[in-house]
C-alpha cells in the first residue's frame, strides 16, 4: 500500500492563480481531511469528507474548495491564491471502523504564494 499520497511536493504560485492539490489514498478509507500547518499555529482543519459525495467545512475553509467523487481521491482547490495561503498542506484519511481512530497523513505539499 502506498498509503496517502500528495502531489505536488512543492509549489510556487503568484497571487490570483488557481491550482489543485491532489490527495489519494489506497486504504479504502471513508474519512478524508485537509489541514494546513503554519508556524506557531499547529494543524488547522480546512475541509473534510465522510464519504464519496459528502464534504463539509472545517475551521479555515475560506478560499478553498473540495469535492469527493471517489473514495480514493480528495482534491483541494485554491480558487484565487493569496499570500495568506502560503503554508504546508496535509491530507489525512481514516477508516470508519477500528479502535484507534488513527489518522494517516500524507507527506505534505509546501505552497508558497508570492
Partner 1 sequence: SQKIEQNSEALNIQEGKTATLTCNYTNYSPAYLQWYRQDPGRGPVFLLLIRENEKEKRKERLKVTFDTTLKQSLFHITASQPADSATYLCALAQNSGYSTLTFGKGTMLLVSP
Interface contacts to partner 1, rule CB under 8 A: 4, 31, 33, 35, 40-45, 48, 50, 58-59, 90, 92, 96, 99-108
DSSP state of 73: B
> Is beta strand 109-113 parallel, antiparallel or unpaired with respect to 87-94?
antiparallel
What is the nearest approach in angstroms of partner 1 to the Cβ of residue 112? 15
Which grid coordinates belong to 74? Answer: 480528495
For residue 39, give Cα distances in angstroms to 88, 108, 114: 9, 15, 18
Residue closer to partner 1 by CB (options 14, 98) is 98
What is the nearest approach in angstroms of partner 1 to the Cβ of residue 80? 26
Cα 103 from Cα 87, distance rounded (Å): 20
Residue closer to partner 1 by CB (options 26, 102) is 102
Residue closer to partner 1 by CB (options 2, 14) is 2
Amino acid at each position: 500500500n502506498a498509503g496517502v499520497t500528495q502531489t505536488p511536493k512543492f509549489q510556487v504560485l503568484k497571487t490570483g492563480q488557481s491550482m489543485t492539490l491532489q490527495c489519494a489514498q489506497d486504504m479504502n478509507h471513508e474519512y478524508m481531511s485537509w489541514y494546513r500547518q503554519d508556524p506557531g499555529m499547529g494543524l488547522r482543519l480546512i475541509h473534510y469528507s465522510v464519504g464519496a459525495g459528502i464534504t463539509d467545512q472545517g475551521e479555515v475553509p475560506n478560499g478553498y474548495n473540495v469535492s469527493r467523487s471517489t473514495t480514493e481521491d480528495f482534491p483541494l482547490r485554491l480558487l484565487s491564491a493569496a499570500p495568506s495561503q502560503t503554508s504546508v498542506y496535509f491530507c489525512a484519511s481514516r477508516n470508519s471502523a477500528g479502535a484507534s481512530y488513527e489518522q494517516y497523513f500524507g507527506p505534505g505539499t509546501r505552497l508558497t504564494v508570492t
